[in-house]
Structure 1
Amino acid sequence: MPPAETRHSGSQSVNPDDLMIEFLEAQLAADEQTARAAQPGPWTIRQTGRHDLAAIVEDTGRQTRHGVPIGPAIASLDGSAATRNGRHIARHDPARVLREIKADRDLIAAYREARAYYGANPHAPAGELHGLLTALKIRAARFDRQPGYQEEWRP
């Protein structure tokens, strides 16, 4: 698969795949900045004994004799969905976000490497390049509510 058709904007040529990757990299940078500004994690949930109260705490691996996690509090939650929301928040702690960002950046690097190879070898079958680009589109689609996302990138 050859690289996407290049658009010409004034005196500059712009590859639409490059625009999508730039958009994805900007979203990853914003997520990384947010994750690094937060308490690093891992996080866990500490229930207070009431179904409508919970706390997100740093997971120190220590527990009370009743199995309640011991760690500095990160956030308190209340309301009928406190426990469910707390589990979700704890599961998506900054450490996990940073691992996902690294995986996305590795995927971008693999795509760029494949694109360079297939660009230099235009007669080679390019299924790998197509697959990597599709994977990047899938990963970028989770940011479809962010300004700058283009529907043409949707897989």
Structure 2
Amino acid sequence: MKILSLDTSTEYMSLGLKIHEDFYSINIKAGQTHSEIVLPEINKLLSEHELNTKDLDAIAFGRGPGSFTGIRIACGIAYGLGYGASIPVIGVNNLLALADSSGKNKVISVIDARMGEIYFSAYIKEDKTFSAPIFEGVYKPHELPQLKES
């Protein structure tokens, strides 16, 4: 299976390419230049592996939380490429992806929401699947919900 993933919801532009069991990635501190660099970088990543979008099985993108403009960029590019190649497009919750990448069963995911706030969610993994998010939302750091020990 070949899957292209992209995330432009933070100051970093991240691309991933899964080809069967191998994974390749590009991470660039893009600031506010996501819209300028993401398509050339996708082309570069696919070209390095002698692929084009029609060779892909799916495209995934970070659907937030994060920068509203950044999410729109990733969503627009993912759906545009997916439509053109007639392949599925999958929106991925950034907090859940962060939790999953930890390899742990109990995880608190936090992303800077700027302006003194954070995106926050807690997850518990049971039978290789994360529960529905606990307290997912935007909080001021001093107003975080209390989590019970279990």
Q: TM-score, normalised by structure 1?
A: 0.22
Of Structure 1 and Structure 2, the greater strand share is in 2
Of Structure 1 and Structure 2, the greater helix share is in 1
Task: Give the greater-gyration-radius structure (CA).
Answer: 1
Q: TM-score, normalised by structure 2?
A: 0.23
